[in-house]
Amino acid sequence: MCRKPIAVGGKLIKCSVSTCNAGRVKLVFCSAACWDSHLPNARHRSAYFTEEKAGRPEV
């Protein structure tokens, strides 16, 4: 998981896999390369990422 702060309004990479996306901790990445380095750990069989704009952090 990326620990870099992502600026509000900045680009945000989200993993498409539901286990990464639907847990209490939502995984987000600062870049495609960053997401790529997550794949070996997560062992996704098929995955892609989506780009979003970072909004205000959810509380």
Interacting residue ranges for Zn ion, rule: CB under 5 A: 2, 4, 15, 17, 20, 30, 34, 42
Q: Least Å distance between CB 21 and Zn ion? A: 8
Would you mind telling me the total number of residues written for the chain in this entry? Answer: 59
Shortest Cβ 58–Zn ion spacing (Å): 19
Q: What is the DSSP string of 1-59?
A: ---S---TTSEEEEE-SHHHHSSSS--EESSHHHHHTTHHHHT-SS--EEEEE--SPP-
Closest contact distance (angstroms) between CB of 2 and Zn ion is: 3
